[in-house]
Structure 1
Amino acid sequence: MFIAYAIVAGLLALVLAASATLTLQRNEAVTASMRKVRVPDAWLPRLASLKAAGAIGLVAGLWVTPLGVAAALGVTLYFIGAVISHLRVKDFELAPAAALALVAAVALALRMAA
């Protein structure tokens, strides 16, 4: 189970790091998606920080189990919140957020089982 967690957590951490970077750079695709779900521009740095912290926590979780569990739980909750935000405004282009919520939940289950 540990090797599976390491692979899933590593890939998820890469996606989170890229997303955090694009959010901080205010990439047009990211900001358009955030505007669509009515996220204020002032929140972008905070949300990027949460993604970056999740990425760091997932990687650190390779050595510190409770940190990996906490990071995977936090990332899962973050993307469940993203799915809810999309549904709240009746935006059904939520596949990326739903997929990342699922991957984060898998990482959580794998870290707890390892």
Structure 2
Amino acid sequence: MHTALVVVTVLAALMAGLSGTVLLLRVRWIVQALQEYGVPGSWWTWLGLAKTAGAVGLLVGLFVPVIGLLAGTGLVLYFTGAAITVARARAYAHIPFPLVYAAPVVGALVLAHAA
């Protein structure tokens, strides 16, 4: 296993896990943003769980690659959907945030494919 793959995957998992945890804890700044974007409150727990499950899946993927591939793909789709949601809300200055979270996930997928 390559060091770069492990480092990037752990970074991606930490970022996704932190993002999911912040949402599950209903931290004020994330709740305000979701309300601004028009995301229904009934979705918040499921969205937080999806991100934390993706983070766990990335870590498991270091040992069971197909799980990492599925988790990474799910997270990339999640953060792409988040960027679209932000764009639809016309909060254009916020579009980079989901893309920043997606970037290490994409990097982990690319490194896993190259390994």
- What interval of TM-score do these two structures reach, taking the shorter chain for normalisation? over 0.9
- Give me the TM-score of the superposition, normalised by structure 1: 0.93
Query: Structure 1 unaligned runs (5+)?
Result: none
Is this contact kept in 1: 2:5–2:108, CA < 8 A?
yes
1:16 maps to 16
Q: How many residues align?
A: 114
Shift of 1:10: 0.4
Match of 1:98 in 2: 99
The sequence identity of aligned pairs, in percent, is 34
Please name the residue that 2:82 is paired with: 82
RMSD: 1.3
Equivalent residue of 2:90, what SS? coil
Q: Measure, in 1, the Cα distance between the counterparts of 2:22 and 2:99.
A: 19
CA distance in 2, matches of 1:100, 1:50: 14
Q: Is contact 2:54–2:72 with CA below 8 Å preserved after alignment?
A: yes
**Runs (4+) off by over 3 Å:** none
Per the normalisation by structure 2, the TM-score is: 0.92
Q: Could you tell me how far 1:102 is from its partner in structure 2?
A: 2.2
Partner of 1:25: 25
